[in-house]
Structure 1
Amino acid sequence: MSRLPQRIVCLTTETVEVLYALGEEQRIVGISGYTVRPARARKEKPKVFAFISGDIEKILAVKPDLVLTFSDLQADISRDLIKAGVAVHAFNQRSVEDILMMVETVGRLVGAEERARVLVSELETKIAQTRSAANQRIVRSGRRPRIYFEEWDEPMISGIRWVSDLFEIAGGENVFADLASLAAAKQRIVDDPQEVVRRAPDMIIGSWCGKHFRPERVAARAGWAAIPAVRDEQLHEIKSAVILTPGPVAIEEGLTELSALFDAWANRYHPAQFSEGRH
């Protein structure tokens, strides 16, 4: 008789993504309404919760033997589920290394350790290849692009640690790296918009969770015309479902998008070095 969980509810998209990648999706009996990856999960699995709100009775109705949650943002529902007698595992990944650890832990929870190790190995290969290509770009161009990442606009919130990690791997530099290790969004608020002007990023990347990034609004902020990124029209969007999801997608797709942006930046401002590097 298997003692592994058979009826799992995933209240964040990244654990759904991992279980599908491991071929263990049959264990999932409920997901968050914000699940986006894989797309088929939204058709196959019942939505039993939003992200920080919903009816606990919908979760209990699917009779889970394990619920997977994320961080203090889901502390209340985790508490209520535990009080209701449900086993809960709360993840709290904040860095790229934490994402890899999360994948391995999910694998252990469902008895798919070897498949999880294979997945992690594939992600590590992606990281190594991206870093190698980035190092070559840096040698040719002479420097890394400096990035301001905006997670939200009102108030202005800078990027969390795994986003900063992705920048470093892809060959960029987070101008607010000093804030990236702070877990709570309110701790990463940029109180003074002129501080972005002073830090002079070469590129601004927006990922306003839940709404479209509006580069024209960013460019129109008082004094921001002096920022190199604004002056050179280097304002870009990466979807939050890609870069703000602390799961494999951030590595598989997030790094690819960042590398393309950084390559284009380097080729635009240092074309001679890139031409020399090709011959």
Structure 2
Amino acid sequence: MDHQYPQRIVCLTDEVTEWLYLLGEQDRIVGISAFADRPEEAKKEKPMVCGFTGANFKKIMATQPDLVIGFSDLQADIASRLIKEGIPTLITNQRSISEIMNTLMMIARMVGAEAKAKVLLDKMNATIEEAKQFSQSLKENPKIYFEEWDDPIITGIQWVSEIITLCGGKDVFIEHADKQNAQGRVLANFEPVVERNPDIGLFCWCGKKMDKEAVLNRPNIQSLSFCKNNEIHEVDPIFMLQPGPATIMEGIPYIMNIIKNWSQRK
């Protein structure tokens, strides 16, 4: 391990853990999030020191980190406290596909793994290119509704909206995509979804399983195309809501496959 780079990294967020493992740099990790499900061995090998918005500072300090990496304004309080303790802390806030790619390369540079990162990012770029080619082959572009949370209903998130568009779909709430804050993406009720009548419904509730029965009991949902044609899909937040490698490597093929199956049934 090259000592000019950080030796003891705490990952406050799951995609960083996954990325360091993919780079073969997992020996640098000394602490992870309780939500770090990828790769599976991470939880067996590394101590859990935080949730997403909360952290065990005693545990973090005990790992003697020389770098802590987190994500978004939701971890600002954790970061602030660590910075006051003199711990080098990086909080990224990637929201788009290009920002995800740039963030992954930045983290790779921080651990001296640029060459390995370039190979992986080239694969991701090939996946993006494949989606572009696929979208051009579609005779019709499905209207797609993506739901991140059920109560209140939260829709739109920039990288997901971009993936939907990339794969040839039309995000029915695309106007929400540039709003970073979840409050800016809340629907007052389900009626706007009914009005836009999407062909495909993607339900990706952050941190819990979709309650399909509850969804099907929403007012006027039976009139929707996605309900009539059984195009209600539960999407795993583990790969779709973490703006890291899995979003590109698994999220894009997953959405592309749903659209492909939809188009073949038309």
TM-score range, shorter chain: over 0.9
Equivalent-residue separation in structure 1 for 2:22 and 2:38 (angstroms)? 10
Secondary structure (helix, strand or coil) at the match of 2:101 reads helix
Number of the residue aligned with 1:82: 83
Task: Give how far 1:145 is off.
Answer: 0.8
TM-score normalized by the length of structure 2:
0.97
5+ residue gaps, structure 1, are 270-279
Number of the residue aligned with 1:214: 211
Q: Percent identity?
A: 41
Number of the residue aligned with 2:121: 120
Secondary structure (helix, strand or coil) at the match of 1:149 reads strand
Equivalent-residue separation in structure 2 for 1:214 and 1:7 (angstroms)? 40
Task: Give how far 1:125 is off.
Answer: 0.7
Equivalent-residue separation in structure 1 for 2:228 and 2:19 (angstroms)? 41
| 1:20-31 pair list within 5 angstroms | 20-31=21-32
Number of the residue aligned with 1:179: 176
Q: Which amino acid aligns with 1:266?
A: S
Preserved contact between residue 134 and residue 171 of structure 1 (Cα < 8 Å)? yes
Equivalent-residue separation in structure 2 for 1:230 and 1:118 (angstroms)? 41
Secondary structure (helix, strand or coil) at the match of 1:229 reads helix
Preserved contact between residue 215 and residue 236 of structure 1 (Cα < 8 Å)? no
Q: Which amino acid aligns with 1:262?
A: I
Equivalent-residue separation in structure 2 for 1:219 and 1:135 (angstroms)? 33
Task: Give how far 1:180 is off.
Answer: 1.1
Number of the residue aligned with 1:275: none
Number of the residue aligned with 1:66: 67
Number of the residue aligned with 1:163: 160
Number of the residue aligned with 1:194: 191
Equivalent-residue separation in structure 1 for 2:240 and 2:221 (angstroms)? 25
Secondary structure (helix, strand or coil) at the match of 1:221 reads coil
Equivalent-residue separation in structure 1 for 2:116 and 2:239 (angstroms)? 23
TM-score normalized by the length of structure 1:
0.92
Moved more, 71-80 or 169-178: 169-178
Preserved contact between residue 11 and residue 31 of structure 1 (Cα < 8 Å)? yes
Q: Which amino acid aligns with 1:223?
A: N
Number of the residue aligned with 1:41: 42
Preserved contact between residue 127 and residue 253 of structure 2 (Cα < 8 Å)? no
Number of the residue aligned with 1:103: 104
Number of the residue aligned with 2:222: 225
Correspondence for 2:258 among 254, 257, 261: 261
Preserved contact between residue 17 and residue 38 of structure 1 (Cα < 8 Å)? yes
Equivalent-residue separation in structure 2 for 1:214 and 1:203 (angstroms)? 17
Residue 241 of structure 2 corresponds to residue 241 of structure 1: no
Equivalent-residue separation in structure 1 for 2:171 and 2:215 (angstroms)? 18
Task: Give how far 1:2 is off.
Answer: 2.8
Q: Which amino acid aligns with 1:26?
A: D
CA deviations on 1:194-222 (whole Å, 9 max, x unpaired) are 11111110011001112111233222211
Equivalent-residue separation in structure 1 for 2:205 and 2:186 (angstroms)? 14
* Equivalent residues, number: 265
Number of the residue aligned with 2:11: 10
Task: Give how far 1:229 is off.
Answer: 1.0
CA deviations on 1:98-123 (whole Å, 9 max, x unpaired) are 11011100111111122222221110
C-alpha RMSD of matched pairs (Å): 1.2
CA deviations on 1:121-180 (whole Å, 9 max, x unpaired) are 1100111012212321x1xxx211111101000000002100011111222111001001
Task: Give how far 1:36 is off.
Answer: 1.2
